[in-house]
């Protein structure tokens, strides 16, 4: 399955993702292909909508203490729901759909989610640190929200100017 990453300002990224109903081979193939795209682009998180599939599925592979991302640490998160959130933390985020841009974003410090795995088993994660931040970032994608939407008015204007300039240079 050949996937390409959808980049801002593509309107596709604004679509709301739909609940996953079929936990079948198609879903498994998509998750496997998403994993390869994410690892090939040095990502730690990827939502299905970022590869043009508007379904509530995301993957995360948070680097371990040796900065490695073994496949056994991969989390496949389907139909997540936040059941608890607390505290506040600020972290410099980046997004594969908004290349070359990193910005401090305020999020909840800890979150608890209920979700399903690729075989529809129900699971819970109590997350803090980078995992909690990445979960919130990726869950925003399911709602069509990007981390740049959380910037102040002036910072967003600056971003738009810089991003447009970078896109022109790429052509």
- Contact residues toward ligand Y12 (CB under 6 A) are 41-45, 91, 93-96, 99-100, 133-134, 137
- Number of helices and strands (H, E) in the chain? 3, 7
Angle at 45 between CA 4 and CA 144, to 5 degrees: 70
| Min separation Cβ 9 and Co ion, Å | 14
Select which of 25, 65, 138, 169 is catalytic. 138
State how far Cα 60 lies from the chain centre: 8
Interacting residues with Co ion between 92 and 131 (CB under 5 A)? 95
Residue 44 near which of Co ion, ligand Y12, none (CB within 5-8 Å, type-dependent): ligand Y12
Catalytic, 126? Answer no
Alpha helices in the chain (DSSP H): 25-40, 129-142, 153-170
User: How far is it, in rounded angstroms, from Cα 5 to Cα 163?
Assistant: 17
27 binds Co ion (CB under 5 A): no
| Min separation Cβ 44 and ligand Y12, Å | 4
- Return the active site residues: 138
Q: Which residues lie near Co ion (CB under 5 A)? A: 95
């Amino acid at each position: 399955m050949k996937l390409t990453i959808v980049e801002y300002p593509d309107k596709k990224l604004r679509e709301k993702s739909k609940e996953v109903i079929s936990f079948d081979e198609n879903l498994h193939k998509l998750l496997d292909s998403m994993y390869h795209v994410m690892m090939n682009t040095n990502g730690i998180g990827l939502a299905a909508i970022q590869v043009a599939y508007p379904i509530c599925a995301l993957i995360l592979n948070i680097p371990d203490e040796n900065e490695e991302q073994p496949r056994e640490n991969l989390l496949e998160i389907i139909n997540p729901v936040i059941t608890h959130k607390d505290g506040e933390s600020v972290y410099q985020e980046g997004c594969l759909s908004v290349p070359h841009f990193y910005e401090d974003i305020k999020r909840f410090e800890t979150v608890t989610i209920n979700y399903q795995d690729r075989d529809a088993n129900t699971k819970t994660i109590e997350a803090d640190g980078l995992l909690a931040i990445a979960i919130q970032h990726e869950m925003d994608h399911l709602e069509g929200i990007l981390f740049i939407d959380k910037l102040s008015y002036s910072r967003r204007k600056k971003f738009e100017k810089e991003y447009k300039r970078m896109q022109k240079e790429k052509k």
